[in-house]
Amino acid sequence: MDVAGKKAIIFGGTSGIGLATAKQLVAGGATVVAVSRNPDKAGDVPDGITLKKCDVLDRDALAALFAECAPFDILVSSATGGSRAIGPFLEMDMDGYKASFDKLWGYANIVRYGAEHLSENGSIVLVSGAPARKCKPGQIALSSVGGAVEAMVRALASEIAPRRINVVSPGSIDTPMVAVEGEARTELYKNMTAANIIPRAGTSEEVAKGIVFMIENDFVTGTTIDVDGGWLLS
């Protein structure tokens, strides 16, 4: 796919990985609708990006947004859907564990109500995470949800063909989702990535390049690529 002249909708598109993807697509000549629950956090955005507000768990609002923006060629989501539980499973608040799956339900809603408006040769890309296939201590909720996302994509690929659907799986990425600042932030990422083959945090832009690859490569569907600094091999 040549993204020039194409239209993309990106959920979670107003910060971090989603915003970086929006900027790269616009630089390639696409127009982008960047969607989140709080679009104001995007700040100033380049020409070619339109900001919209929507909650991925609100199916009626999603359906209305897709109808308003249709037709489009590219559908991306890096939206978390809400909070994520961290910690040992046997000590975990089960409501917190259940709430972590809002990411999966958000993705399911996006694909269910968005795919019908996608062009015949369109591309969908979702974002999971390295814990899906290599879970570190305290990450069972992240692993469970990410694994479910990747399984859903593999199962959907043949059903929605010739439209394509893929996953990008990031490792530890320096994004605004982590609220710690200054020296404490530097130390946090240093500790998180010390065992990686590439011992640093990735950037939103590096993950976005993986997403754009999945969009542009017409010979890839139903699969996951890792942008993780060697997380799975460490």
Report yes or no on 181 lying in a domain.
yes
Segment 132-152, tens digit of pLDDT: 999 999 999 999 999 999 999
Report yes or no on 233 lying in a domain.
no
Q: Is the separation of the CB atoms in 137 and 104 below 8 Å?
A: no
Distance CA 103, CA 75 (A): 16
Task: Determine the 3-state secondary structure of 133 from DSSP.
Answer: coil
* Predicted TM-score of the model (pTM): 0.94
Distance CA 151, CA 107 (A): 12
Least confident of 2-6, 16-20, 47-51, 184-188: 184-188
Whether 179 shows a pLDDT value over 80: the answer reads: no
Report yes or no on 2 lying in a domain.
no
Distance CA 51, CA 136 (A): 36
Distance CA 56, CA 12 (A): 9
Q: Is the separation of the CB atoms in 69 and 2 below 8 Å?
A: no
- Give the position of tokens 């690529």: 225
Task: Determine the 3-state secondary structure of 187 from DSSP.
Answer: helix
Which tokens go with 69?
């923006």
Residues sharing a CB contact under 8 Å with residue 82, sequence separation 6 or more, in sequence order = 57, 99, 102, 103
The count of domains in the chain is 1
Distance CA 146, CA 129 (A): 6
Name the residue range of residue 155's domain.
Answer: 7-227
Whether 186 shows a pLDDT value over 90: the answer reads: no
Report yes or no on 185 lying in a domain.
yes
- Give the position of tokens 């043949």: 158
Report yes or no on 1 lying in a domain.
no
pLDDT band of 192, cuts 50, 70, 90: confident
Report yes or no on 193 lying in a domain.
yes
Average confidence (pLDDT) over 23-38: 97
- Give the position of tokens 């809002």: 102
CATH, residue 189? 3.40.50.720
Angle at CA of residue 165, ends 3 and 227, nearest 5°: 80
Q: Is the separation of the CB atoms in 225 and 214 below 8 Å?
A: yes
Report yes or no on 133 lying in a domain.
yes
Instruction: Classify 28 in phi/psi space as left (phi over 0), alpha (psi -120 to 50) or beta.
Output: alpha
Whether 21 shows a pLDDT value over 90: the answer reads: yes
Report yes or no on 39 lying in a domain.
yes
